[in-house]
Amino acid sequence: MSDAHAASYRARQVPAPVQVADGVWGIPIPLHGSALRYVTVYLVDTGDGPVLVDAGYDHPTCWASFQRSVESLGHRVEAITTVLLTHNHPDHVGFAARLREVSGARIVMGRADDFATAHRTRGTFLAQLRAALDLTGAPADVVDGMYADAVAVAEHHETLRLDVALDADTEFRFGDVTIHAVPAPGHTYGHTVYVDARGLVFTGDTMMAEGPTQLAIVSRPDDDPAGDLLRSLARIRDLGAAIACPAHQFPYRDVAARADELSAFHRGEVDRVRDLAGDGADAWTLAPRMPWRKPWDDLGRGTRRFSLMHTLALLRHVTGAAR
């Protein structure tokens, strides 16, 4: 595994494709206009043809960049047989349907993140967001402004159809390569990590090399993404993987230690909310008192919305109700 990916990330540059392990490549896809800069998808060479983990944005520049990178590695996009999606956010599912049209690849994802299922059980992303904002206790003008900001950038149509919807641990055999799908909710309710039996785990957005995990939106009475995440981190810790391959930042080793570190961080967040929530505060009151990377007053409107949703999820875990 090369350190070039990490160096490029820290230099705020888009890395070149990198070989993570024998037959496994990380392919960074530039996200023009996004603060994320790029998302990394992973190509796994197997005896049954290449398998892809995640699928970037649905944008011509992402698709073109992906095609060039795959060809530079000596593979053909048309040969890809399966797309394993970690979750349903637009920078992960984007060109999966386009790839299926080109290659006939089947598309796999957790059932709770299947758009058709989510629409029946939770509503669209915007419906979930509006429900969550209404639970925060924020003033009406703040709720309306945050929702309007989300509407302005919510270009994803949520129409992707799955070929395989996962409900539990599932083993896939691709010739000489075995990959296990392991449910890992927390960032989304259907988030899945994929474990290559050779010692790699593709962690999606559940566990990056640095920083916290953004918790899922709370919109139903039984939602507890913080509890989900803590259980998922314990599960990942015990998988025995040697290398984590996240969708953002860079691949890294010491997977179990990182899982413990991240779990401790989020348990600390829970403890802080528990201490602050004793006076009956709601998420809007608590959010400015949480230790974000910048003071609350210095956060942009979009970052405030993410931070408010995260606080709401922590409060739900502490109290069992969003208040």
Answer whether residue 323 shows pLDDT above 50: no
Cα angle for residues 140, 144, 145 (degrees, 5° grid)? 115
Q: How many angstroms separate the Cα of 5 from the Cα of each of 15, 121, 261?
A: 5, 39, 22
10 Å Cβ neighbour count for 154? 14
* pLDDT score for 10: 87
Answer whether residue 314 shows pLDDT above 70: yes
Q: How many CA atoms lie within 13 A of 215 on its CB side?
A: 29
Q: Once rounded to an integer, what is the mean pLDDT over residues 246-272?
A: 97
Q: Which amino acid is at 301?
A: R
Q: Which residues of 45-59 are buried (b: 16+ CB within 10 A; e: fewer)?
A: bbeebbbbbbbbbbb
Q: How many angstroms separate the Cα of 105 from the Cα of each of 70, 163, 261, 266, 295?
A: 15, 9, 37, 37, 46
* pLDDT score for 298: 95
208-219 tens-digit pLDDT: 999 999 999 999
104 vs 52: CA distance, rounded Å: 13
Answer whether residue 50 shows pLDDT above 60: yes
Answer whether residue 322 shows pLDDT above 60: no
* pLDDT score for 92: 95
98-138 tens-digit pLDDT: 999 999 999 999 999 999 999 999 999 999 999 999 999 99
11 vs 3: CA distance, rounded Å: 12
10 Å Cβ neighbour count for 20? 24
Answer whether residue 1 shows pLDDT above 60: no
131-182 tens-digit pLDDT: 999 999 999 999 999 999 999 877 778 999 999 999 999 999 999 999 999 9
* pLDDT score for 8: 86
* pLDDT score for 2: 61
Q: Is 72 helix (H, G, I), strand (E, B) or coil?
A: helix
227-245 tens-digit pLDDT: 999 999 999 999 999 999 9
Q: Which residues of 272-292 are buried (b: 16+ CB within 10 A; e: fewer)?
A: bbeebbeeebbbbbbbeebeb
Alpha helices in 186-254 (DSSP H): 225-237
Answer whether residue 252 shows pLDDT above 60: yes
| More confidently predicted of 168 and 301 | 168
Q: Once rounded to an integer, what is the mean pLDDT over residues 31-58?
A: 92
- For the chain, the average pLDDT equals 94
Q: Is 66 helix (H, G, I), strand (E, B) or coil?
A: helix
Backbone region of residue 244 per phi and psi (left: phi > 0; alpha: psi in -120 to 50; beta: other values): beta
* pLDDT score for 320: 85
65-91 tens-digit pLDDT: 999 999 999 999 999 999 999 999 999
Q: Once rounded to an integer, what is the mean pLDDT over residues 38-67?
A: 95
- Confidence grade of residue 31 (pLDDT, cut at 50, 70, 90): confident
pTM metric for this prediction: 0.95
Q: Which pair of tokens denotes residue 192?
A: 């899945």
Q: Is 179 helix (H, G, I), strand (E, B) or coil?
A: strand
Domains of the chain by start residue, with CATH: 4-123+158-268 (3.60.15.10)
| Residue bearing tokens 């997977």 | 255
